[in-house]
Amino acid sequence: MHQFEKHFTVAEARALLPALRRLFKDVHARRDRARKIDAQLGERLTASGGDLGGKLVTDLLTDVVALNAELRLWQERGVVIKDFERGLVDFPSLRADREVFLCWELDEEDIEFFHDIDAGYAGRERL
């Protein structure tokens, strides 16, 4: 019995890379925007004594809700996002009937590695 319901072939996982690159570009832009808004809200909180709201809060919540929905869609597809900062993604896969993760990181051109489910990034091996 396998831990994951969906298993990707290398070709299926590779086909998702352009969309994942766009996802991480969006995630990083939203992160940067959230940091900026957080700093602005901190300044306003100090100046107002505790009364916050308005467009900045609405923008921040809108980003969080949109990001959450997008990430949920990827999880439903069976993709395992391990690290948003690095853009580290695992795709459950089968190698000789053994369940493994195909492993990809945003700065990598292609999927070239896999690792055992319990091994993690340190246990990566070339395909």
pLDDT (0 to 100) of residue 66: 86
The Cα 43–Cα 47 span in angstroms is 6
Q: How confident is the model at residue 63 (pLDDT cuts 50, 70, 90)?
A: confident
- Whole-prediction pTM value? 0.84
Average pLDDT over residues 87-93: 97
- Asked whether the predicted pLDDT for residue 52 surpasses 90, the reply is no
Q: Is beta strand 80-83 parallel, antiparallel or unpaired with respect to 88-95?
A: antiparallel
Name the β-bridge partners of 95: 98
pLDDT higher than threshold 90 for residue 13: yes
Report the amino acid identity of residue 34: A
Helix (H) or strand (E) holding 49: none
Residue ranges of the alpha helices (H) in 49-83?
55-77
Q: Which of 25-29, 39-43, 112-116 has the lowest mean pLDDT?
A: 39-43
pLDDT over 70 at 41, yes or no: yes
pLDDT at 71 over 90: no
Q: Count how many Cα atoms sit within 13 Å of the Cα of residue 60 in the half-sphere of its side chain.
A: 14
Is residue 49 pLDDT above 80, yes or no?
no
